[in-house]
Amino acid sequence: MASHTTEGRKMMKEQAAIFEMEDVPLSKIVQPKIIERNIIDNDAVMELAENIKQIGLINPITVKQVSGKYEIVAGHRRFLALKYLGIKTTSVKVINEIRSSGEVIKLSENLMREDLNDYEEGNMLQVLKKLIKGNDKLVAKAIGKSEAYVRQKIGILKYPEDVREALQYGRIVFSVARELVRIKNDGLRREYLKHAVSGGATPALVKGWVDDIIKAEKRDKELSEEQQTEKPNLQVPKPYFICSVHGGETNMNESQLYRICSNCQNELKIGG
């Protein structure tokens, strides 16, 4: 029991070094633009508001002081739920100046406890990077991930809007989005994104599509240089999928998506 009490006191002391608790009017709390652009699930906010109404706000909003205001670092949905409930003042965790690597790690542990999707995680890592005035290497060390992981997640913030929105809404997964952004032609990317969403394409399949596009662009460039003429119209392969019945490549426009039970799957000898 004593060891648990000692550990608890140690944790509270570490928290106190990183945060200060303050009661702040909601009118003084502001939202950074990058979070304002995030997609908000209104149903989730309403549900959270009901929970707060029943049991109170268990995890305070985390903020930093900016020009006499308190800018949200973590807890955007909680802030919206409090506003919906008409609450005027709330307790917040104000981030102190970070002075040591240990405090960096503790701060990252607090921020990354949030229930985040891929876009929100990228946003939070960018916020953490600015707060600690560090680089990708320092952020990676703080969260126990690789530098490549940090770069890729922060890179989501610079994705084209169509891909970023599909990722935020859960229409595609991060590994699919990462492949689609390799397509630099906006119109072409939108077409392939549409097929990826409607067909439920896997990351491996989308990678195949994008590799084919890049190869076609390379062939087109080489041909144009050889002929020293104007660049011909690019013949880009259409999105395809591997048919589960005959195993061949088929145009996505000729596909149909069905949900079947395992018994029918066995009868049709699809997959596995």
The pair of three-digit structure tokens given for residue 209, joined into one six-digit string? 């599509």
**Per-domain residue ranges of the chain:** 1-96, 105-158, 159-268
Confidence (pLDDT) at 4: 40
The 10 Å Cβ neighbour count of residue 27 is 10
State both tokens at 260.
């079947």
| β-strand pairing of 240-242 with 29-30 | unpaired
E-assigned strand segments in the chain: 19-25, 29-30, 61-66, 69-74, 89-95, 240-242, 249-251
Q: Domain 1-96 - what CATH class?
A: alpha beta
Reported pTM: 0.61
Distance CA 190, CA 183 (A): 9
- pLDDT of 90 reads 95
pLDDT string in tens for the chain (272-residue length): 444 444 444 444 444 457 789 999 999 999 865 554 456 678 888 999 999 999 999 889 888 888 889 988 888 889 999 999 999 999 998 887 665 566 666 667 666 666 678 888 888 888 888 877 778 888 888 888 899 999 999 999 999 999 998 988 888 999 999 999 999 999 999 999 998 998 888 899 999 989 988 888 888 777 766 665 555 555 556 665 666 566 666 665 555 545 566 677 677 665 55
**What pLDDT shows up at residue 146?**
93
pLDDT of residue 218: 83
d(CA 86, CA 92): 17
pLDDT at residue number 174? 94
pLDDT at 234: 55
Best CA proximity match to 260, nearest among 246, 245, 270:
270
pLDDT at 176: 95
Class for the domain spanning 105-158: mainly alpha
Of the CA atoms within 13 Å of residue 153, those in its CB half-sphere come to 25
The CA distance from 174 to 218, in Å, is: 26
Instruction: Show contacts of 170-174: CB within 8 Å, 24+ apart.
Output: 170/117, 171/197, 172/196, 172/197, 173/203, 174/118
Nearest to 73 by CA among 85, 82, 58, 63: 63
In the prediction, which pLDDT does 189 show?
93
Residue 104 to residues 15, 222, 259: CA-CA distances in angstroms? Answer: 11, 50, 47
pLDDT value of position 87: 94
Alpha carbon distances (Å) from 47 to 76, 79, 115:
14, 13, 15
Pairing of strands 240-242, 69-74: unpaired
β 89-95/61-66 pair status: parallel
Asked if domains 1-96 and 105-158 share a fold, the reply is no
Sheet strands (E) in 61-210? 61-66, 69-74, 89-95
